Amino acid sequence: MASLTKNPNVNAWVDEMIALTKPDNVVWIDGSDEQLQALREEAVSTGEMLVMNQDEYPGCLYHRTLPNDVARVEDRTFICSRNKDDAGPTNNWCDPKEMYAKLTPMYDGVMKGRTMYVIPYSMGPIGSPLAKVGVELTDSIYVVLNMDIMTRMGAKAFENLGDTSDDFVRGLHSKAQVDPENRYIVHFPEDNTIWSINSAYGGNVLLGKKCFALRIASFQGKNEGWMAEHMLILGVEKPDGEVKYITAAFPSACGKTNLAMLIPPVCYTEQGYKVWTVGDDIAWLKQGEDGRLYAINPENGFFGVAPGTNAKSNYNALASTKKNTIFTNVALNNDNMTPWWEGLDKNPPVNATEWKGEKVNGPEYAAAGNKLAHPNSRFTAPAENCPCISSEFNNPQGVPISAIIFGGRRAKTTPLVYQAFDWNHGTYMGSAVSSETTAAATGAVGVLRHDPMAMKPFIGYNVGDYWAHWIEMGEKLGDKAPKIFNVNWFKKDDEGNFMWPGFGDNMRVLDWIIKRCEGTVDAVETAIGYVPKAEDINVTGIEDEITPERMQELLAVDKDLWVEEIAEMRRYYNDDIAAKGGRIPDVLYKELDELEARLNK
Protein backbone atom coordinates (compact mmCIF):
# COMPACT_ATOMS: atom_id res chain seq x y z
CA MET A 1 0.00 0.00 0.00
CA ALA A 2 1.33 3.41 -0.96
CA SER A 3 2.57 5.86 1.68
CA LEU A 4 0.20 8.60 2.83
CA THR A 5 2.95 11.24 2.93
CA LYS A 6 5.69 12.67 0.74
CA ASN A 7 7.80 13.32 3.85
CA PRO A 8 11.13 11.55 3.18
CA ASN A 9 11.96 11.30 6.92
CA VAL A 10 8.78 9.33 7.62
CA ASN A 11 9.08 7.12 4.55
CA ALA A 12 12.76 6.28 5.11
CA TRP A 13 12.10 5.31 8.74
CA VAL A 14 9.04 3.19 7.86
CA ASP A 15 11.04 1.39 5.16
CA GLU A 16 13.85 0.73 7.64
CA MET A 17 11.41 -0.76 10.19
CA ILE A 18 9.71 -2.89 7.49
CA ALA A 19 13.14 -4.29 6.56
CA LEU A 20 13.75 -5.11 10.24
CA THR A 21 10.38 -6.64 11.21
CA LYS A 22 9.58 -8.27 7.79
CA PRO A 23 5.76 -8.15 7.81
CA ASP A 24 3.81 -10.02 5.11
CA ASN A 25 1.65 -6.93 4.48
CA VAL A 26 1.89 -3.21 5.21
CA VAL A 27 -1.30 -1.15 5.64
CA TRP A 28 -1.18 2.64 5.99
CA ILE A 29 -4.04 3.78 8.24
CA ASP A 30 -5.84 6.67 6.54
CA GLY A 31 -8.53 6.92 9.25
CA SER A 32 -11.44 6.33 6.86
CA ASP A 33 -14.65 4.75 8.18
CA GLU A 34 -14.45 2.03 5.50
CA GLN A 35 -10.94 1.00 6.50
CA LEU A 36 -11.73 1.01 10.22
CA GLN A 37 -14.94 -0.98 9.74
CA ALA A 38 -13.04 -3.62 7.76
CA LEU A 39 -10.50 -3.87 10.60
CA ARG A 40 -13.29 -4.25 13.20
CA GLU A 41 -14.84 -7.04 11.16
CA GLU A 42 -11.48 -8.77 10.80
CA ALA A 43 -10.82 -8.55 14.56
CA VAL A 44 -14.26 -10.04 15.27
CA SER A 45 -13.83 -12.82 12.67
CA THR A 46 -10.56 -13.97 14.29
CA GLY A 47 -12.01 -13.80 17.82
CA GLU A 48 -9.62 -11.00 18.89
CA MET A 49 -12.69 -8.83 19.57
CA LEU A 50 -16.30 -9.59 20.48
CA VAL A 51 -19.29 -7.50 19.41
CA MET A 52 -21.28 -6.09 22.33
CA ASN A 53 -25.06 -5.65 22.44
CA GLN A 54 -25.57 -3.20 19.55
CA ASP A 55 -28.95 -1.98 20.83
CA GLU A 56 -27.59 -0.95 24.23
CA TYR A 57 -23.94 -0.38 23.26
CA PRO A 58 -23.85 0.60 19.56
CA GLY A 59 -20.41 0.39 17.99
CA CYS A 60 -18.89 -1.15 21.15
CA LEU A 61 -16.39 -4.01 21.15
CA TYR A 62 -14.93 -6.28 23.82
CA HIS A 63 -11.31 -7.43 24.14
CA ARG A 64 -9.36 -9.41 26.70
CA THR A 65 -5.60 -9.47 27.17
CA LEU A 66 -3.54 -12.36 28.46
CA PRO A 67 -3.47 -12.67 32.28
CA ASN A 68 0.27 -11.85 32.22
CA ASP A 69 -0.39 -8.54 30.44
CA VAL A 70 -2.91 -6.40 32.30
CA ALA A 71 -1.16 -3.18 33.39
CA ARG A 72 1.74 -0.81 32.81
CA VAL A 73 5.04 -2.46 33.77
CA GLU A 74 7.23 0.13 35.42
CA ASP A 75 10.11 -2.30 36.01
CA ARG A 76 10.25 -2.97 32.24
CA THR A 77 9.98 0.70 31.26
CA PHE A 78 13.24 2.47 30.39
CA ILE A 79 14.50 5.96 29.59
CA CYS A 80 17.57 5.51 27.38
CA SER A 81 19.30 8.88 27.38
CA ARG A 82 22.94 8.94 26.25
CA ASN A 83 24.02 10.22 29.66
CA LYS A 84 22.79 8.20 32.66
CA ASP A 85 22.43 11.34 34.81
CA ASP A 86 19.89 12.72 32.33
CA ALA A 87 17.48 9.88 33.21
CA GLY A 88 17.77 10.62 36.92
CA PRO A 89 16.76 8.59 39.98
CA THR A 90 13.07 8.06 39.13
CA ASN A 91 13.70 6.16 35.87
CA ASN A 92 15.23 2.87 34.83
CA TRP A 93 18.16 3.73 32.59
CA CYS A 94 20.07 1.81 29.95
CA ASP A 95 22.66 3.03 27.46
CA PRO A 96 20.82 3.54 24.13
CA LYS A 97 23.49 1.63 22.15
CA GLU A 98 23.14 -1.31 24.53
CA MET A 99 19.32 -1.24 24.40
CA TYR A 100 19.16 -0.99 20.61
CA ALA A 101 21.61 -3.93 20.45
CA LYS A 102 19.42 -5.96 22.82
CA LEU A 103 16.07 -5.21 21.16
CA THR A 104 16.98 -5.17 17.45
CA PRO A 105 17.35 -8.99 17.29
CA MET A 106 13.96 -9.33 19.03
CA TYR A 107 12.31 -7.23 16.30
CA ASP A 108 14.16 -9.03 13.50
CA GLY A 109 11.43 -10.82 11.54
CA VAL A 110 8.93 -10.43 14.40
CA MET A 111 6.09 -9.50 12.01
CA LYS A 112 6.57 -12.46 9.60
CA GLY A 113 3.11 -13.85 8.84
CA ARG A 114 1.52 -10.62 10.18
CA THR A 115 0.39 -7.25 8.90
CA MET A 116 2.17 -4.05 9.89
CA TYR A 117 -0.21 -1.12 10.40
CA VAL A 118 1.32 2.34 9.90
CA ILE A 119 -0.61 4.75 12.14
CA PRO A 120 -0.08 8.52 11.65
CA TYR A 121 -1.63 10.45 14.54
CA SER A 122 -1.78 13.93 16.02
CA MET A 123 -1.53 14.58 19.75
CA GLY A 124 -3.75 17.64 20.05
CA PRO A 125 -6.16 19.22 17.53
CA ILE A 126 -5.04 19.12 13.89
CA GLY A 127 -3.49 22.50 13.08
CA SER A 128 -2.89 23.46 16.73
CA PRO A 129 0.47 25.17 17.38
CA LEU A 130 0.62 23.00 20.52
CA ALA A 131 0.01 19.70 18.68
CA LYS A 132 2.68 17.11 17.81
CA VAL A 133 2.75 14.27 15.31
CA GLY A 134 3.54 10.62 15.92
CA VAL A 135 3.72 7.55 13.72
CA GLU A 136 3.18 4.17 15.38
CA LEU A 137 3.99 0.93 13.60
CA THR A 138 2.16 -2.07 15.11
CA ASP A 139 1.04 -5.61 14.35
CA SER A 140 -2.09 -5.23 16.49
CA ILE A 141 -5.57 -4.33 15.22
CA TYR A 142 -6.46 -3.64 18.87
CA VAL A 143 -3.85 -0.86 18.86
CA VAL A 144 -5.22 0.63 15.62
CA LEU A 145 -8.81 0.71 16.90
CA ASN A 146 -7.80 2.18 20.28
CA MET A 147 -5.52 4.79 18.70
CA ASP A 148 -8.48 5.83 16.55
CA ILE A 149 -10.38 6.67 19.75
CA MET A 150 -7.46 8.12 21.73
CA THR A 151 -5.82 10.34 19.08
CA ARG A 152 -6.60 12.29 15.90
CA MET A 153 -5.55 9.39 13.69
CA GLY A 154 -5.16 9.08 9.92
CA ALA A 155 -3.85 10.91 6.86
CA LYS A 156 -4.92 14.31 8.26
CA ALA A 157 -2.34 13.95 11.06
CA PHE A 158 0.41 14.55 8.49
CA GLU A 159 -0.96 18.07 7.84
CA ASN A 160 0.85 19.32 10.96
CA LEU A 161 4.12 17.66 9.93
CA GLY A 162 4.37 18.82 6.32
CA ASP A 163 6.64 17.36 3.67
CA THR A 164 10.04 18.13 5.16
CA SER A 165 9.92 18.22 8.99
CA ASP A 166 11.68 15.55 11.03
CA ASP A 167 9.76 16.49 14.20
CA PHE A 168 7.68 13.35 14.63
CA VAL A 169 7.79 10.63 17.29
CA ARG A 170 8.73 7.23 15.93
CA GLY A 171 6.85 4.43 17.67
CA LEU A 172 7.55 0.76 16.98
CA HIS A 173 5.32 -1.84 18.65
CA SER A 174 5.02 -5.57 18.27
CA LYS A 175 2.99 -7.82 20.52
CA ALA A 176 5.55 -10.51 19.49
CA GLN A 177 4.81 -13.52 21.76
CA VAL A 178 3.43 -11.40 24.65
CA ASP A 179 6.29 -12.82 26.69
CA PRO A 180 6.64 -11.05 30.07
CA GLU A 181 10.32 -12.08 30.37
CA ASN A 182 11.12 -10.16 27.19
CA ARG A 183 8.68 -7.29 27.62
CA TYR A 184 10.19 -3.83 27.12
CA ILE A 185 8.69 -0.35 26.88
CA VAL A 186 11.66 1.80 25.96
CA HIS A 187 12.03 5.54 25.31
CA PHE A 188 14.95 7.13 23.46
CA PRO A 189 14.20 10.82 24.16
CA GLU A 190 17.11 12.20 22.12
CA ASP A 191 15.97 10.13 19.11
CA ASN A 192 12.25 10.96 19.44
CA THR A 193 11.71 7.20 19.51
CA ILE A 194 9.64 4.66 21.49
CA TRP A 195 10.01 0.86 21.16
CA SER A 196 7.50 -1.50 22.80
CA ILE A 197 7.61 -5.29 22.51
CA ASN A 198 5.88 -8.34 24.01
CA SER A 199 2.85 -6.51 25.41
CA ALA A 200 -0.65 -6.06 24.03
CA TYR A 201 -2.05 -4.04 26.97
CA GLY A 202 -3.15 -0.44 26.34
CA GLY A 203 -0.80 1.52 28.59
CA ASN A 204 2.23 -0.27 27.11
CA VAL A 205 1.17 -0.27 23.46
CA LEU A 206 -0.95 2.85 22.79
CA LEU A 207 2.27 4.77 22.34
CA GLY A 208 0.56 8.15 22.09
CA LYS A 209 -0.57 7.87 25.70
CA LYS A 210 1.94 7.94 28.59
CA CYS A 211 4.93 7.08 26.36
CA PHE A 212 4.63 10.05 23.98
CA ALA A 213 2.23 12.47 25.70
CA LEU A 214 4.20 12.45 28.96
CA ARG A 215 7.63 10.77 28.84
CA ILE A 216 8.79 11.99 25.42
CA ALA A 217 6.73 15.22 25.53
CA SER A 218 8.07 16.23 28.96
CA PHE A 219 11.58 16.05 27.47
CA GLN A 220 10.46 18.00 24.39
CA GLY A 221 8.76 20.56 26.62
CA LYS A 222 11.94 21.12 28.65
CA ASN A 223 13.90 21.75 25.43
CA GLU A 224 11.21 23.85 23.73
CA GLY A 225 9.91 25.87 26.68
CA TRP A 226 6.50 24.27 27.41
CA MET A 227 5.16 21.63 29.81
CA ALA A 228 3.66 18.15 29.49
CA GLU A 229 1.84 17.27 32.69
CA HIS A 230 -0.22 14.41 34.16
CA MET A 231 -3.17 16.77 34.72
CA LEU A 232 -6.89 16.98 34.11
CA ILE A 233 -8.26 20.20 32.56
CA LEU A 234 -11.72 21.48 33.52
CA GLY A 235 -13.72 24.66 33.04
CA VAL A 236 -16.07 26.09 35.65
CA GLU A 237 -18.82 28.15 34.03
CA LYS A 238 -20.27 30.78 36.32
CA PRO A 239 -23.90 31.99 36.20
CA ASP A 240 -22.84 35.00 34.09
CA GLY A 241 -21.37 32.64 31.44
CA GLU A 242 -17.70 33.34 32.18
CA VAL A 243 -15.57 30.15 32.27
CA LYS A 244 -12.46 29.74 34.43
CA TYR A 245 -10.09 26.89 33.54
CA ILE A 246 -8.18 24.79 36.07
CA THR A 247 -5.65 21.97 35.75
CA ALA A 248 -5.10 19.39 38.52
CA ALA A 249 -2.57 16.63 39.20
CA PHE A 250 -3.33 13.73 41.56
CA PRO A 251 -1.66 10.34 42.03
CA SER A 252 -3.77 7.31 41.09
CA ALA A 253 -6.82 6.52 43.27
CA CYS A 254 -7.25 10.17 44.26
CA GLY A 255 -10.34 10.99 42.18
CA LYS A 256 -8.84 12.66 39.11
CA THR A 257 -11.39 11.52 36.53
CA ASN A 258 -14.22 12.19 38.98
CA LEU A 259 -13.06 15.80 39.40
CA ALA A 260 -12.58 16.26 35.64
CA MET A 261 -16.23 15.28 35.03
CA LEU A 262 -17.71 16.69 38.23
CA ILE A 263 -21.44 17.41 38.51
CA PRO A 264 -21.90 20.38 40.90
CA PRO A 265 -24.24 20.15 43.92
CA VAL A 266 -27.83 21.39 43.53
CA CYS A 267 -27.07 24.68 45.31
CA TYR A 268 -24.68 25.46 42.40
CA THR A 269 -26.63 24.02 39.45
CA GLU A 270 -29.72 25.99 40.53
CA GLN A 271 -27.69 29.20 40.18
CA GLY A 272 -26.48 28.15 36.73
CA TYR A 273 -22.98 26.83 37.47
CA LYS A 274 -21.66 24.16 35.09
CA VAL A 275 -18.43 22.15 34.86
CA TRP A 276 -16.93 21.36 31.45
CA THR A 277 -14.32 18.66 30.78
CA VAL A 278 -11.37 19.51 28.54
CA GLY A 279 -9.24 16.54 29.62
CA ASP A 280 -9.16 13.82 32.26
CA ASP A 281 -5.50 12.78 32.25
CA ILE A 282 -2.91 14.82 30.35
CA ALA A 283 -2.33 18.54 29.74
CA TRP A 284 0.17 20.21 27.44
CA LEU A 285 0.77 23.78 28.65
CA LYS A 286 2.36 26.61 26.71
CA GLN A 287 2.63 30.37 27.17
CA GLY A 288 0.25 32.23 24.84
CA GLU A 289 0.81 35.52 23.02
CA ASP A 290 -0.90 37.37 25.90
CA GLY A 291 1.64 35.93 28.35
CA ARG A 292 -0.79 33.57 30.07
CA LEU A 293 -0.46 29.78 30.30
CA TYR A 294 -2.71 27.86 27.87
CA ALA A 295 -3.53 24.14 27.95
CA ILE A 296 -4.65 21.58 25.41
CA ASN A 297 -5.62 17.98 26.01
CA PRO A 298 -3.36 16.11 23.56
CA GLU A 299 -5.73 13.14 23.61
CA ASN A 300 -9.04 12.58 21.84
CA GLY A 301 -10.58 10.00 24.19
CA PHE A 302 -10.61 8.52 27.69
CA PHE A 303 -8.69 5.39 28.67
CA GLY A 304 -10.52 4.95 31.95
CA VAL A 305 -10.44 2.39 34.76
CA ALA A 306 -13.83 0.64 34.73
CA PRO A 307 -14.17 -0.77 38.30
CA GLY A 308 -15.78 1.76 40.62
CA THR A 309 -17.29 3.76 37.74
CA ASN A 310 -21.06 4.02 38.18
CA ALA A 311 -23.92 6.46 37.79
CA LYS A 312 -23.27 7.93 41.27
CA SER A 313 -19.46 8.05 41.37
CA ASN A 314 -19.08 9.39 37.81
CA TYR A 315 -22.24 9.69 35.73
CA ASN A 316 -20.45 11.46 32.87
CA ALA A 317 -17.69 8.84 32.55
CA LEU A 318 -20.27 6.05 32.49
CA ALA A 319 -22.31 7.91 29.85
CA SER A 320 -19.14 8.25 27.74
CA THR A 321 -18.92 4.45 27.41
CA LYS A 322 -22.34 3.89 25.82
CA LYS A 323 -21.25 3.92 22.16
CA ASN A 324 -18.16 3.32 19.99
CA THR A 325 -16.20 2.20 23.07
CA ILE A 326 -13.72 -0.66 23.49
CA PHE A 327 -13.99 -2.53 26.80
CA THR A 328 -10.87 -4.44 27.93
CA ASN A 329 -10.78 -7.11 30.67
CA VAL A 330 -14.21 -6.33 32.13
CA ALA A 331 -16.77 -9.11 32.75
CA LEU A 332 -19.59 -9.93 30.35
CA ASN A 333 -23.25 -10.64 31.00
CA ASN A 334 -23.75 -13.53 28.56
CA ASP A 335 -27.55 -13.11 28.49
CA ASN A 336 -27.35 -9.76 26.72
CA MET A 337 -23.66 -9.18 25.83
CA THR A 338 -23.31 -6.13 28.08
CA PRO A 339 -20.26 -5.24 30.23
CA TRP A 340 -20.13 -5.56 34.01
CA TRP A 341 -17.52 -4.68 36.62
CA GLU A 342 -17.22 -4.34 40.37
CA GLY A 343 -18.87 -1.11 41.51
CA LEU A 344 -21.11 -0.79 38.44
CA ASP A 345 -24.04 -2.05 40.50
CA LYS A 346 -24.58 -4.63 43.25
CA ASN A 347 -25.84 -7.35 40.88
CA PRO A 348 -23.15 -9.49 39.26
CA PRO A 349 -24.72 -11.30 36.28
CA VAL A 350 -25.64 -14.93 36.98
CA ASN A 351 -24.66 -16.06 33.49
CA ALA A 352 -21.29 -14.32 33.35
CA THR A 353 -17.91 -14.60 31.66
CA GLU A 354 -15.18 -13.34 33.97
CA TRP A 355 -12.30 -11.32 32.53
CA LYS A 356 -10.04 -14.30 31.77
CA GLY A 357 -12.81 -15.92 29.68
CA GLU A 358 -14.25 -18.50 32.10
CA LYS A 359 -18.05 -18.86 32.28
CA VAL A 360 -19.16 -18.52 35.91
CA ASN A 361 -22.16 -17.90 38.13
CA GLY A 362 -21.43 -14.25 38.95
CA PRO A 363 -22.97 -13.98 42.45
CA GLU A 364 -21.38 -17.27 43.59
CA TYR A 365 -18.03 -16.39 42.03
CA ALA A 366 -18.04 -12.97 43.72
CA ALA A 367 -19.18 -14.43 47.05
CA ALA A 368 -16.08 -16.66 46.99
CA GLY A 369 -13.95 -13.50 46.92
CA ASN A 370 -13.16 -13.43 43.20
CA LYS A 371 -13.19 -10.42 40.90
CA LEU A 372 -15.30 -10.76 37.76
CA ALA A 373 -13.56 -7.79 36.10
CA HIS A 374 -9.81 -7.21 36.41
CA PRO A 375 -9.16 -4.34 38.91
CA ASN A 376 -7.34 -2.47 36.10
CA SER A 377 -9.94 -3.28 33.42
CA ARG A 378 -10.52 -0.38 31.04
CA PHE A 379 -12.84 1.43 28.70
CA THR A 380 -11.51 3.39 25.69
CA ALA A 381 -14.23 5.96 24.97
CA PRO A 382 -14.38 8.90 22.53
CA ALA A 383 -14.25 12.26 24.34
CA GLU A 384 -17.12 13.50 22.17
CA ASN A 385 -19.40 11.00 23.99
CA CYS A 386 -18.96 12.83 27.30
CA PRO A 387 -22.09 14.83 28.22
CA CYS A 388 -19.95 17.59 29.78
CA ILE A 389 -17.25 17.82 27.08
CA SER A 390 -16.10 21.42 26.70
CA SER A 391 -16.95 23.43 23.58
CA GLU A 392 -13.24 24.42 23.68
CA PHE A 393 -12.08 20.79 23.45
CA ASN A 394 -10.83 21.23 19.87
CA ASN A 395 -9.72 24.86 20.23
CA PRO A 396 -6.25 24.85 18.60
CA GLN A 397 -5.07 27.66 20.92
CA GLY A 398 -6.06 25.76 24.07
CA VAL A 399 -7.71 27.31 27.14
CA PRO A 400 -6.19 29.90 29.54
CA ILE A 401 -5.36 28.42 32.95
CA SER A 402 -6.21 30.36 36.11
CA ALA A 403 -5.26 27.76 38.74
CA ILE A 404 -3.14 24.63 39.11
CA ILE A 405 -4.14 22.13 41.80
CA PHE A 406 -2.05 19.39 43.39
CA GLY A 407 -3.50 16.75 45.68
CA GLY A 408 -2.85 13.45 47.38
CA ARG A 409 -4.44 11.04 49.82
CA ARG A 410 -3.47 12.13 53.36
CA ALA A 411 -5.41 11.08 56.46
CA LYS A 412 -4.17 13.80 58.83
CA THR A 413 -1.44 16.23 57.77
CA THR A 414 -2.87 18.21 54.87
CA PRO A 415 -5.89 20.53 55.13
CA LEU A 416 -8.84 20.35 52.73
CA VAL A 417 -7.36 23.16 50.63
CA TYR A 418 -4.59 25.76 50.84
CA GLN A 419 -2.89 28.14 48.42
CA ALA A 420 0.81 28.59 47.71
CA PHE A 421 2.35 31.99 48.45
CA ASP A 422 3.81 32.18 44.93
CA TRP A 423 4.88 30.01 41.97
CA ASN A 424 8.12 28.71 43.54
CA HIS A 425 6.32 27.78 46.74
CA GLY A 426 3.71 26.03 44.54
CA THR A 427 6.48 24.15 42.72
CA TYR A 428 7.75 22.97 46.12
CA MET A 429 4.18 21.83 46.96
CA GLY A 430 4.09 19.87 43.69
CA SER A 431 7.45 18.24 44.47
CA ALA A 432 6.01 17.16 47.84
CA VAL A 433 2.91 15.42 46.44
CA SER A 434 2.49 12.10 48.18
CA SER A 435 -0.22 9.60 49.03
CA GLU A 436 -0.73 7.12 51.82
CA THR A 437 -1.23 3.62 50.49
CA THR A 438 -4.64 2.01 50.78
CA ALA A 439 -5.04 -1.71 51.45
CA ALA A 440 -5.69 -2.26 47.74
CA ALA A 441 -2.25 -0.97 46.75
CA THR A 442 0.05 -2.98 49.01
CA GLY A 443 0.03 -5.07 52.16
CA ALA A 444 0.92 -2.12 54.36
CA VAL A 445 -1.63 0.64 54.89
CA GLY A 446 -0.68 4.29 55.42
CA VAL A 447 2.82 4.05 53.92
CA LEU A 448 3.78 7.35 52.31
CA ARG A 449 4.44 7.13 48.58
CA HIS A 450 6.09 10.16 46.99
CA ASP A 451 4.77 11.06 43.55
CA PRO A 452 6.03 14.54 42.62
CA MET A 453 3.46 16.43 40.51
CA ALA A 454 1.80 12.96 40.13
CA MET A 455 4.47 12.51 37.42
CA LYS A 456 6.92 10.08 39.04
CA PRO A 457 6.49 7.25 36.47
CA PHE A 458 6.19 9.67 33.55
CA ILE A 459 9.04 12.22 33.74
CA GLY A 460 11.16 11.49 30.66
CA TYR A 461 14.35 12.94 32.17
CA ASN A 462 16.00 13.86 35.49
CA VAL A 463 13.37 14.77 38.10
CA GLY A 464 15.59 17.57 39.46
CA ASP A 465 15.87 19.11 35.99
CA TYR A 466 12.09 18.73 35.68
CA TRP A 467 11.60 20.77 38.86
CA ALA A 468 14.10 23.35 37.53
CA HIS A 469 12.01 23.56 34.35
CA TRP A 470 8.95 24.37 36.50
CA ILE A 471 10.93 27.19 38.14
CA GLU A 472 11.97 28.49 34.68
CA MET A 473 8.36 28.43 33.46
CA GLY A 474 7.38 30.50 36.49
CA GLU A 475 10.05 33.10 35.67
CA LYS A 476 8.78 33.23 32.07
CA LEU A 477 5.11 33.61 33.11
CA GLY A 478 5.84 36.22 35.81
CA ASP A 479 2.68 37.83 37.20
CA LYS A 480 0.59 36.02 34.53
CA ALA A 481 1.33 32.65 36.16
CA PRO A 482 -1.65 30.61 37.41
CA LYS A 483 -2.10 30.46 41.17
CA ILE A 484 -1.19 27.10 42.73
CA PHE A 485 -3.26 25.19 45.30
CA ASN A 486 -3.19 21.90 47.19
CA VAL A 487 -6.31 19.88 48.03
CA ASN A 488 -6.91 16.81 50.17
CA TRP A 489 -10.34 15.16 49.89
CA PHE A 490 -9.20 12.29 52.13
CA LYS A 491 -8.72 13.75 55.62
CA LYS A 492 -10.02 11.36 58.31
CA ASP A 493 -11.39 11.86 61.81
CA ASP A 494 -10.12 9.94 64.85
CA GLU A 495 -12.54 7.08 64.10
CA GLY A 496 -11.02 6.67 60.62
CA ASN A 497 -14.00 8.09 58.70
CA PHE A 498 -13.57 10.49 55.80
CA MET A 499 -14.47 14.01 56.96
CA TRP A 500 -15.31 15.51 53.57
CA PRO A 501 -18.09 14.13 51.29
CA GLY A 502 -15.99 14.51 48.12
CA PHE A 503 -17.27 13.81 44.57
CA GLY A 504 -19.62 16.60 43.41
CA ASP A 505 -19.14 18.50 46.68
CA ASN A 506 -15.54 19.20 45.63
CA MET A 507 -17.16 21.99 43.59
CA ARG A 508 -17.32 23.94 46.88
CA VAL A 509 -13.50 23.94 47.02
CA LEU A 510 -13.19 24.85 43.32
CA ASP A 511 -15.51 27.78 44.00
CA TRP A 512 -13.16 29.09 46.73
CA ILE A 513 -10.11 28.54 44.47
CA ILE A 514 -11.69 30.58 41.67
CA LYS A 515 -12.60 33.38 44.09
CA ARG A 516 -8.98 33.44 45.26
CA CYS A 517 -7.82 33.74 41.64
CA GLU A 518 -10.23 36.64 41.16
CA GLY A 519 -9.23 38.27 44.45
CA THR A 520 -12.81 38.34 45.74
CA VAL A 521 -12.26 36.35 48.94
CA ASP A 522 -9.76 36.70 51.76
CA ALA A 523 -7.70 33.93 53.40
CA VAL A 524 -5.78 33.17 56.56
CA GLU A 525 -2.01 33.31 56.21
CA THR A 526 -0.45 30.23 57.88
CA ALA A 527 3.03 28.73 57.91
CA ILE A 528 2.12 26.38 55.03
CA GLY A 529 0.21 28.84 52.80
CA TYR A 530 -3.14 30.63 52.55
CA VAL A 531 -5.96 28.64 54.15
CA PRO A 532 -9.67 29.50 53.71
CA LYS A 533 -11.66 31.18 56.45
CA ALA A 534 -14.12 28.48 57.56
CA GLU A 535 -17.13 30.62 56.60
CA ASP A 536 -15.84 31.11 53.04
CA ILE A 537 -16.39 27.48 51.98
CA ASN A 538 -20.03 27.19 50.88
CA VAL A 539 -21.72 24.35 52.82
CA THR A 540 -25.32 25.01 51.68
CA GLY A 541 -27.15 21.68 51.76
CA ILE A 542 -24.50 19.83 53.81
CA GLU A 543 -24.63 21.95 56.99
CA ASP A 544 -25.63 18.92 59.11
CA GLU A 545 -22.56 17.01 58.01
CA ILE A 546 -20.05 19.89 57.72
CA THR A 547 -20.61 21.87 60.90
CA PRO A 548 -18.41 24.89 61.68
CA GLU A 549 -16.43 22.65 64.06
CA ARG A 550 -15.93 20.01 61.36
CA MET A 551 -14.82 22.70 58.90
CA GLN A 552 -12.25 23.98 61.41
CA GLU A 553 -10.87 20.43 61.66
CA LEU A 554 -10.77 20.08 57.87
CA LEU A 555 -8.79 23.32 57.56
CA ALA A 556 -6.55 22.83 60.61
CA VAL A 557 -2.75 22.99 60.29
CA ASP A 558 -1.18 20.72 62.91
CA LYS A 559 2.31 22.04 63.63
CA ASP A 560 3.68 18.73 64.96
CA LEU A 561 2.53 16.82 61.86
CA TRP A 562 4.07 19.48 59.62
CA VAL A 563 7.38 19.27 61.48
CA GLU A 564 7.32 15.53 60.67
CA GLU A 565 6.41 16.36 57.06
CA ILE A 566 9.47 18.63 56.75
CA ALA A 567 11.76 15.96 58.16
CA GLU A 568 10.34 13.47 55.66
CA MET A 569 10.78 15.92 52.77
CA ARG A 570 14.43 16.50 53.74
CA ARG A 571 14.95 12.74 53.81
CA TYR A 572 13.18 12.37 50.44
CA TYR A 573 15.15 15.18 48.76
CA ASN A 574 18.49 14.01 50.14
CA ASP A 575 18.22 10.20 50.16
CA ASP A 576 15.78 9.39 47.35
CA ILE A 577 16.67 12.17 44.90
CA ALA A 578 19.99 13.99 45.46
CA ALA A 579 21.96 10.93 46.63
CA LYS A 580 20.84 9.09 43.48
CA GLY A 581 21.78 11.79 41.01
CA GLY A 582 18.72 14.03 41.14
CA ARG A 583 19.81 17.64 40.60
CA ILE A 584 17.50 19.47 43.02
CA PRO A 585 17.27 23.23 42.38
CA ASP A 586 18.52 25.39 45.25
CA VAL A 587 15.20 27.25 45.11
CA LEU A 588 13.37 24.15 46.41
CA TYR A 589 15.76 23.72 49.35
CA LYS A 590 15.18 27.41 50.10
CA GLU A 591 11.39 26.87 50.04
CA LEU A 592 11.79 23.96 52.46
CA ASP A 593 14.00 26.04 54.80
CA GLU A 594 11.50 28.91 54.74
CA LEU A 595 8.58 26.59 55.46
CA GLU A 596 10.47 25.21 58.45
CA ALA A 597 11.32 28.71 59.69
CA ARG A 598 7.67 29.83 59.45
CA LEU A 599 6.52 26.77 61.41
CA ASN A 600 9.06 27.37 64.16
CA LYS A 601 8.27 31.07 64.47
Q: Which residues of the chain have pLDDT under 50?
A: 440-442
pTM for this model (two decimals): 0.97
Sign of CA dihedral 196, 197, 199, 200: positive
Q: How far apart are CA 220 and CA 49, in angstroms?
A: 36
Name 27's bridge partners: 117
The strand pairing partners of 62, in sequence order, are 50, 327
Task: Identify the pLDDT of residue 442.
Answer: 44
- 394 with 466: CB under 8 angstroms? no
| Euclidean distance between CA atoms 71 and 33, whole angstroms | 30
Domains in the chain (CATH in brackets) are 8-30+76-224 (3.40.449.10), 229-297+393-577 (3.90.228.20), 302-382 (2.170.8.10)
The end-to-end CA distance of the chain, in Å, is: 72
Packing angle, helices 463-477 and 423-431, rounded to 10: 160
CA distance 582 to 123: 29
Candidates 522, 554, 483, 520; CA nearest to 238 is 520
Helix axes 586-600, 559-571, angle to 10 degrees: 160
Q: Residues with Cβ < 8 Å from 164, sequence gap 6 or more?
A: 7, 8, 9
Q: Residue 335: what are its φ and ψ, rounded to 5°? A: -65, -35
How far from 555 is each of 247, 435, 592, CA to CA, in Å?
22, 18, 21
Picking from 593, 184, 503, the residue whose alpha carbon sits closest to that of residue 313 is: 503
Q: For the chain, what's the residue count? A: 601
CA angle 567, 573, 574 (to 5 degrees): 90
Separation of alpha carbons 468 and 472, rounded Å: 6
Would you state the pLDDT for residue 437? 79
The residues annotated as belonging to the active site are 254
> Which pLDDT does position 439 carry in this prediction?
55
pLDDT at 307: 96
Cβ neighbors of 176 (< 8 A, separation 6 or more) are 106, 110, 182, 197, 198
Q: What angle do CA 267, 273, 274 make, to 5 degrees?
A: 120
Buried b (16+ CB within 10 A) or exposed e, 166-178: eebbbbbbbbbeb
